[in-house]
Structure 1
Amino acid sequence: MNFNQAKSLRLDRWRATLDDHDFRTQSPEAHRATLREMAMDLLSEGLIDELEQFDMNEMADAAYWHAVEELQSLPGQYRGASSYDVVHIDNGELLGTISRSIFNFAKSEPRGAYSGYDGKVYSEPDGVWLSLGISRRVGKIAGLAMEMNGCRYRLIETERMVDGVTHHPLADADVYRALVDAAQVAQEERDLRAFEKLRPHIESAAFCICPECLDRFGARDDCTTCAGKGFVTKPALAGLR
C-alpha cells in the first residue's frame, strides 16, 4: 500500500467515525475525543500535516456542538455506559436493573446454567432492544421508556460513567442551578472544555429544564410549573412510588 492509499484509507475511517450518529449522540464527549485522537495519530504518522489536523479538529468540535444542540431538543436518551432501575410506569414496581447494558430481574429467578445475567440491551439499526436469553428483541427502548409484553416501563438512571469515574445523578437543586448557569455561559462563549465537563452531570441529574418556560429569562419568573426556578424534578422521579 502506497502513501496515498494509506492516507485515503485512514481518512475514510475518520470520516466514518465523524458521521457515526449513534456514537455522537450516545456520548458527544467520547466522540469528539476519539476524532481528535485519530487526527493526532494521522499527524504523528506523517499522513496529514498540522493544517489538515487543525481542520479535522474544527470539524470534530462542530460535530460536538451539533450533537449538544440536537440532544437539548430531545427527551432523555438511553446510555450504554449508565445504570438504570426499570420501573413499571403505572404502579412504580421495580422490574429489574440495567447496568452497562446488562439486564437482571429484581426478583430472583433461575437463570441458564451458563448465564450470569438475565438479558442484554443491544443498539441495532432500527432502535434499542432488550433481549432475554434466547428471546430476542422482547423489549423496545425509546428514550428512557421501554415497552415489553404490553407493559410500559420507565428507565431511571442511577449511575453514569464520566471520564472513567462512576457518578450518581445530581440531586441537589442549588448545585444543579449553578451547573446550568455555568453551562449556559460556557455554551454562549463556545468554551468547549468547560461545557463538556458540565454537560454529563446536568443531563443525568434528577432535574430537567422546565418544559413550560424553558428556563428563559422573563418567562421563568412567572412560571407556575417550576415556581420560577427554571427547572423541575424529572417526571419519573416525581411520580415514583
Structure 2
Amino acid sequence: MRVSAKAFAVSLVSTVIFAFGAAPAMAEAPVEDFSLAAVQPATTTVSQSLDTGDALAGAPIESVLSVDEVAHVPHHFDVDAAISLAESEVGTSRATGWNQPGECIMSAQRWIRAGGGNWGGGGDPVSNYDGATRVTLAQAEPGDVVQYEYVASPTSWVTGVHTVLITEVHDDGTFTIIESNNPGGSGLVSKDENWTPAPPAGFQAAVWRF
C-alpha cells in the first residue's frame, strides 16, 4: 500500500511528539521559574536602603563617637609613673605579634597601668578605650593616648592603626611621644620630641584620656 508524502509526514511528527511526551520526567533538566519575581508591582516598598549618599562621606568620627568637649578632664592615674616606665623602656625591644608586649597598644597599656590606670577595654581600636574619655587634640595633655583609627571602619585592625603615648606638650603645637613597634615588626620603644599626628590617608588621630 502506498502512503502519500503528506500522510507520512503527519505520522512522523506525531511519533516524535509522542516520544518526547512519554519520556521520563528525570530526562529533562529542572528549570526554575522566576516569573513571579518579574511581575511584582513596581511600587513594592524597599525595606532598607544602603545608599547614604553624602550623609556620612568624609564625616569625622567625632560625629559617631562621644567626644568630651570639656576644657579639662582629669587623669585617673599617676601620669608621672606611667611616663617614667615608658622613658625607662626607650631603646629596648620586645616580641611583636597579636597580644605581644612589643605591639604599640600593648606597650601603651603597660605604661598606663603602671600608673594605676584602668585600661581594660575590649579588643578593637574603639572598644579598647571603654572607660576612657575622648578629648580633642587641642586638649591633649601628657598621659593621653593617641590612637590612629581607620575612618571607614574604626573598629578594624588594619595596616595604619597605631598607638602612642604623649609625654610632653609644646607651645608650638608639637608633642613629645613615646611609642613602640615603629617601624612595624621591630618591637622597638622609641621617643620623638617633635611629633605631630600624621595618620595615613583614610585614618585620623583620636585622643583618649584614662
- Normalised by the shorter chain, which TM-score bucket? under 0.3
Which structure has the larger Rg over C-alpha atoms? Answer: 2
Which is bigger in relative contact order (C-alpha 8 A, separation at least 6)? 2
Normalised TM-score (structure 1): 0.23
